[in-house]
Amino acid sequence: MLSIKKFLYEAAFKNSLFALLICWAAPVFSEQFNFVDVNAHPLGFYDEQHEVKGVAIDIFNQVMGNLGHRVNFELLPGNRVIYLLKEGKAHGVPFIRKTESRQQFLDYSTEIIILENIYIYVNKGKKFSFNGDFDFFKNKKIAVVLGDTHGEAFNNIMDSLDVIETSSISSSFKMLGKKRVDIVLSTSIRASREIKNQAHHEFTKLPTPMETVPLYVAFSKKRNLGHLKAQFDKELRKLKQAGKVKSIIESWH
């Protein structure tokens, strides 16, 4: 009788140990995270297979993959993105500029995911020059993408300027080509594709950047993801120190 009990005990122990080893060997994944953002080539965009690609997405995916997290992306109009984040219907956003109003409902990463230089674009032949003095913008029609922020200095004077908010950077450059605006504000990385697509128009970039704006990953405060933010910051810092973030950015140039 004792030998049967001993046999059963040893068999149960071996099965338990085997199950434990399987758990240790298997990759540990969290719940599925849902992130939303705008379609902004080349930061994040749908490719021909309708998959989300981009320089900021590549950095974000590298960090989240290293942490063992699965992420689903959806690119939507800006107003829809903000609504989903405010209501906690999405976990977060993989790249976004920081504003005071957004900080009310978003918990931003401490680490910057990527820096963007914002430039002034004009029709070729226009004798405009910019030396950093924001009086430059007076008496000019300015196209910006709805929902974009262009640094604190510009945001503070935006209401006093003749600003036209467009649905996309493509729309902004179309308006510039038709001379319905005098200037377009855009980062060089976002403008380069539109300039190439609209090669029949001649645009030029003023050499002095208007502003350098950092992009962050941000998490919906309604989701209480402080632990994920801490993990993300730590891993992103490691990737920067290893030079991996720099190599991802360079691969897109």
pLDDT in tens, 142-151: 999 887 878 8
Could you tell me the CATH superfamily of domain 116-212? Periplasmic binding protein-like II (3.40.190.10)
Averaged pLDDT, 204-226: 94
Q: Are 217 and 113 in contact (CB under 8 A)?
A: yes
pLDDT higher than threshold 70 for residue 102? yes
Domain residue ranges of the chain, discontinuous segments joined by + = 32-114+214-252, 116-212
Residue 42: which pLDDT band, with cuts at 50, 70 and 90? confident
The pLDDT value recorded for residue 243 is: 96
Q: Chain-wide mean pLDDT for the chain?
A: 87
Domains 32-114+214-252 and 116-212 share a fold: yes
Q: How far apart are CA 157 and CA 182, in angstroms?
A: 17
CATH topology of domain 32-114+214-252: D-Maltodextrin-Binding Protein; domain 2 (3.40.190)
Cα dist from 179 to 104, 126, 148, 221, 229, whole Å: 38, 11, 22, 42, 44
The pLDDT value recorded for residue 4 is: 52
Where is pLDDT greater, at 77 or 18? 77
The pLDDT value recorded for residue 15 is: 53
% the chain with pLDDT above 90:
64
Q: How far apart are CA 10 and CA 49, in angstroms?
A: 53
Q: Is the peptide bond before 94 cis (omega within 30 degrees of 0)?
A: no
CA dihedral sign of residues 212, 76, 202, 158: negative
8-12, 42-46, 123-127, 173-177: which has the minimum mean pLDDT? 8-12
The pLDDT value recorded for residue 18 is: 45
